[in-house]
């Protein structure tokens, strides 16, 4: 048994773990990084990167098949295998940044084995035992596979396997109408597949329903069948057909099946009890500083911390704990400024409170302002008028914003900045945006907040009339 002593041992080389390892080693700490599977984790290999690459291929096919602005559409031939080649090439282009070689070049000791705790300050990975002053659990999550009767006996895909498929599905059935399910539904529809989405509750149910409805309507208009309230009760296979039955007795048949009903954290094999680390139903039990309250040597970040499951959250968590571990500075994680986006077309993005959550918290103190894409000159010029922004405001300060429409994931960043830095609506209104850009939508939303105060106020009108006398 090899034995190593180090300052920080990071378990998991996904987005969060890599951020901690790179930051810590470059600031002078000794770092050991454990990874038993692929460097880069889910985001690079199975999640954000390949899904956006496949969506990009679908977007190209869709754009070529749509006539507009005096340009006639022609027949579009899609090559599903070539689209998957683009996915693989995208991963390969980003891979070196997350590679073992790069991190060893930075000075990190990388051990390609799964880690498990053997004590309060020891972890074993393969034939190596690591003793560390601090441990960071950054093990991420994996697709949740529900115990549906017949599923185990039927071939199915998750986001970890769908990108290896080379043969275009004739009819893809997607179980789950969340972001992953709907992104994959649209990508496959635009690449020439029939697609049916079965959602047990509401599609995009975690997003603002007013905004989600616009995105869902657009997907349905492209020919994607989205069935809500469709709880799957059984699955079977017969020849080349997959049959999915819902609890009302309806049967849906397709050629391929994708399960996208959520995720579960990867902490079962860590032997947390041997380190005195408690867990919850959703992940490692941590306090606001992302630290285990029962073993102060242990931190958890990203999906393993049991909160929001986004790559950028893992990166944010990395910064929070690096300040504590290396600089001894107090730091706590907050979620009120964390944005998220679903990259369908139109995109759907949110930061802070939705309208419903804001009304519950603030009641009559809440103001909600809206501005449609159809009022933006750039959107009109480019034919992207489907969309809406709504901003939740309390005492002049935005507490949440939601956007559905073109480049919503880019536009939401203005509101993430505002909420993170406690800016007021006046800061957005004072911004000068280049014309014509979609970014003017944010400024116009701020204007919609101040408009009634300026144009409908009798006091303002009296002041203006008084000034005009001189």
pLDDT at position 468 is 75
Same-domain check for residues 396 and 317: no
pLDDT tens string 11-52: 999 999 999 999 999 999 999 999 999 999 999 999 999 999
Same-domain check for residues 425 and 291: no
pLDDT at position 56 is 97
**Token digits of residue 352:** 């802070």
Q: Lowest-pLDDT range, 72-86, 150-164, 292-306?
A: 72-86
The SS3 of residue 411 is helix
> By C-alpha distance, which of 138, 111, 108 is closest to 127?
111
Same-domain check for residues 31 and 130: yes
The SS3 of residue 322 is helix
First to last CA, the chain: 90
- The rounded mean pLDDT for the chain is 95
pLDDT at position 460 is 60
Q: How many domains, the chain?
A: 3
pLDDT tens string 262-272: 999 999 999 99
For residue 25, what is the domain's CATH number? 3.50.50.60
Q: What order of strands is seen across the sheet that includes strand 241-246?
A: 232-238, 241-246, 251-254
Same-domain check for residues 251 and 230: yes
pLDDT at position 70 is 86
For residue 355, what is the domain's CATH number? 3.30.390.30
pLDDT at position 67 is 81
pLDDT tens string 50-68: 999 999 999 999 998 888 8
pLDDT tens string 306-349: 999 999 999 999 999 999 999 999 999 999 999 999 999 999 99
C-alpha to C-alpha distances, 431 to 115, 396, 425, 435, 439, nearest whole angstrom: 49, 16, 10, 12, 10
Pairing of β 256-259 and β 171-175: parallel
C-alpha to C-alpha distances, 450 to 89, 350, 438, 445, nearest whole angstrom: 48, 22, 20, 9
**Token digits of residue 192:** 């020439």
| Helix ranges, 27-166 (H) | 41-45, 48-64, 80-94, 100-106
Element (H, E) at 347: strand 347-352
pLDDT at position 459 is 64
pLDDT at position 457 is 60
Same-domain check for residues 385 and 237: no
pLDDT at position 384 is 96
For residue 314, the enclosing domain spans 2-39+99-143+264-327
Query: Is there a contact between 116 and 269 (Cβ–Cβ < 8 Å)?
Result: yes
Split at pLDDT 50, 70, 90, the class of 388 is: very high
pLDDT at position 453 is 62
Asked whether residue 460 is assigned to any structural domain, the reply reads no
pLDDT tens string 411-436: 999 999 999 999 999 999 999 999 99
Same-domain check for residues 126 and 188: no
Residue 262 burial by CB count (10 A; 0-12/13-18/19+): exposed, middle or buried? middle
pLDDT tens string 442-468: 999 999 988 666 556 666 667 667 777
Average of per-residue pLDDT across 257-263: 97
pLDDT at position 169 is 97
Asked whether residue 210 is assigned to any structural domain, the reply reads yes
| Helix ranges, 202-337 (H) | 209-221, 311-327
Element (H, E) at 450: helix 440-455
**Token digits of residue 413:** 């960043």
Same-domain check for residues 21 and 129: yes
Establish how many alpha carbons lie within 13 A of residue 261's alpha carbon, considering only the half-sphere containing its beta carbon: 18
Same-domain check for residues 122 and 270: yes
């Amino acid at each position: 048994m090899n034995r190593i002593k180090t300052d920080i041992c990071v378990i998991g080389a996904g987005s969060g773990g890599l951020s901690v390892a790179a930051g810590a080693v470059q600031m002078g700490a000794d770092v050991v990084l454990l990874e038993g599977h692929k460097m880069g984790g889910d985001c690079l290999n199975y999640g954000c990167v390949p899904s956006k690459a496949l969506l990009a291929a679908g977007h190209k096919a869709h754009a070529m098949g749509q006539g507009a602005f005096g340009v006639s559409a022609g027949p579009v031939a899609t090559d599903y295998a070539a689209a998957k080649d683009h996915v693989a090439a995208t991963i390969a282009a980003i891979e070196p940044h997350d590679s073992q070689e790069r991190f060893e070049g930075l000075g990190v000791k990388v051990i390609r084995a799964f880690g498990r705790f053997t004590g309060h300050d020891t972890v074993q990975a393969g034939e190596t035992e690591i003793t560390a002053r601090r441990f960071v659990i950054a093990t991420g999550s994996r697709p949740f596979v529900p115990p549906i009767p017949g599923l185990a006996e039927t071939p199915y895909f998750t986001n970890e396997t769908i990108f290896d498929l080379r043969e275009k599905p004739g009819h893809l059935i997607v179980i789950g109408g969340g972001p992953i399910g709907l992104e994959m539904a649209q990508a496959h529809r635009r690449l020439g597949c029939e697609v049916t989405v079965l959602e047990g509750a509401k599609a995009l149910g975690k997003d603002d329903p007013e905004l989600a409805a616009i995105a869902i309507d657009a997907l349905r208009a492209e020919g994607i069948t989205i069935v809500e309230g469709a709880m799957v009760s059984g699955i079977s296979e017969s020849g080349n057909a997959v049959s999915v039955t819902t609890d009302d007795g309806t049967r849906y048949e397709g050629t391929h099946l994708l399960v996208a009903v959520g995720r579960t954290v990867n902490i079962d094999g860590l032997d947390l009890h041997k380190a005195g680390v408690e867990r919850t139903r959703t992940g490692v039990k941590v306090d606001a500083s992302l630290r285990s309250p029962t073993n102060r040597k242990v931190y958890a970040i990203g999906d393993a911390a049991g909160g929001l499951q986004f790559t950028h959250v893992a990166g944010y968590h990395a910064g929070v704990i690096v300040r504590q571990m290396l600089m001894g500075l107090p730091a706590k994680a907050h979620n009120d400024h964390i944005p998220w986006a679903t990259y369908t077309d139109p995109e759907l993005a949110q930061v802070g409170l939705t309208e419903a959550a804001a009304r519950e918290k603030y009641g009559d103190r809440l103001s909600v302002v809206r501005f449609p894409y159809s009022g933006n000159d750039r959107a009109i010029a480019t034919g992207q008028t489907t969309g809406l922004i709504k901003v939740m405001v309390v005492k002049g300060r935005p507490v949440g914003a939601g956007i559905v429409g073109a480049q919503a994931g880019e536009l939401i960043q203005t509101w993430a900045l505002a909420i993170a830095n406690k800016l007021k609506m006046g800061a957005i209104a004072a911004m000068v945006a280049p014309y014509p850009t979609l970014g003017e939508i944010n400024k116009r939303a701020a204007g919609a907040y101040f408009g009634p105060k300026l144009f409908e106020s009798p006091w303002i009108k009296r002041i203006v009339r008084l000034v005009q006398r001189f």
